[in-house]
């Protein structure tokens, strides 16, 4: 007779992470008591980071990786959850959304693997722009995603979540699709934190909680007067053109602004400002802490590589909050 997993304190549902990146989502699922068996990504440095943190990775183009290869890599173990974030640059509101961007079709590879592995649940995360993006024919991409999953037997729900509402010291919004091929309910995590004091919730975690004291930051993270002048000039130009980007200075009593994958360029997404003449970018350790990676998390590659991996990641605590809801459903 099969033992009810609820009676087993060691029950660790098994996960495969597609488009795994540095492993932010996987780390969140691990924090919630899941066993991440495999990650897949096509960027070698991402796979190296994933493996440095005791994960197994397949590095390659997902379009060339068969379901059978995945099953062999995980010794044919039954997967309860498939997670991942198909590359979202074509959906992103941070640039021009392009419905013809070939990366947009990669979510069909995610669907293919879900159909092959038949997990009880899947989690697919993306940028908020995916909720309003339309094809050239005027169809909502979101509706297409729902219909495709319905064709392979999955009921899907979607919600936009703000990482700051789950203890992440960063205001970062992500769209999360959760699907199931069971009759189990799909629930999203209730916020544990809020912008204002609330009897039921803690206050948002301020970025100051992870910022180093000035004397512990190396001088090369501080910007030159010429760089600072450039920030000011560019911000004015962007404001005149109605563009959203320009230097942003962190408010220490609030969560950070979103850390992007291009943070390595000059850190203008989120700068630490001591005075008009003392402005610096976040260190990689601070950026990782803002994304709620554990302090002992190991990143491979150059400083640029590390910032890129951190900026691309799902905040670990946001992943954990989603994972905990799925685990509750699995145990019902």
Query: Which active-site residues does the annotation give?
Result: 88
Q: At what angle do helices 316-331 and 24-31 cross, to 10 degrees?
A: 50
User: Distance between CA 205 and CA 189 in Å, rounded?
Assistant: 17
Instruction: Find tokens 């008009």 and name the residue.
Output: 276
The burial class, CB within 10 Å (0-12 / 13-18 / 19+), for 154 is: buried
Helix 106-117 / helix 141-151 crossing angle, nearest 10 deg: 20
Neighbours of 14 (CB within 10 A): 16
Question: Are the CB atoms for 292 and 144 separated by under 8 Å?
Answer: no
* C-alpha torsion sign, points 76, 44, 112, 29: positive
Are 292 and 151 spatial neighbours (Cβ–Cβ below 8 Å)? no
């Amino acid at each position: 007779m099969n033992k009810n997993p609820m009676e087993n304190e060691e029950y660790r549902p098994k996960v495969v992470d597609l488009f795994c990146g540095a492993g932010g989502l996987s780390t969140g699922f691990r924090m919630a008591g899941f066993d991440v068996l495999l990650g897949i990504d096509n960027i070698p440095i991402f796979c190296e980071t994933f493996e440095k943190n005791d994960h197994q990775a397949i590095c390659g183009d997902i379009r060339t990786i068969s379901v059978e290869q995945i099953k062999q890599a995980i010794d044919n173990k039954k997967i309860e959850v498939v997670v991942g974030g198909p590359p979202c640059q074509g959906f992103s509101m941070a640039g021009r959304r392009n419905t013809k961007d070939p990366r947009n079709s990669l979510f069909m590879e995610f669907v293919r693997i879900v159909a092959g592995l038949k997990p009880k649940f899947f989690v697919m995360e993306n940028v908020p722009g995916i909720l309003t993006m339309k094809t050239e024919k005027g169809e909502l991409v979101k509706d297409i995603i729902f219909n495709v999953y319905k064709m392979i037997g999955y009921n899907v729900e979607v919600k936009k979540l703000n990482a700051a509402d789950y203890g992440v010291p960063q205001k970062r919004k992500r769209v999360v699709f959760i699907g199931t091929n069971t009759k189990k309910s799909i629930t999203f995590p209730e916020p544990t934190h809020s912008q204002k004091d609330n009897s039921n919730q803690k206050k948002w975690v301020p970025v100051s909680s992870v910022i180093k004291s000035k004397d512990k930051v190396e001088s090369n993270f501080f910007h030159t007067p010429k760089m600072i002048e450039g920030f000011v000039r560019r911000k004015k130009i962007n404001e005149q053109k109605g563009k959203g980007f320009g230097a942003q200075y962190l408010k220490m009593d609030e969560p950070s602004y979103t850390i992007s994958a291009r943070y390595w360029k000059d850190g203008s997404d989120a700068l630490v400002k001591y005075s008009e003449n003392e402005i610096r970018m976040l260190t990689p350790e601070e950026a990782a802490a803002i994304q709620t990676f554990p302090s002992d998390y190991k990143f491979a590659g150059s400083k640029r590589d590390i910032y890129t991996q951190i900026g691309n990641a799902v905040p670990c605590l946001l992943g954990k909050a989603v994972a905990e809801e799925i685990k509750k459903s699995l145990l019902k």
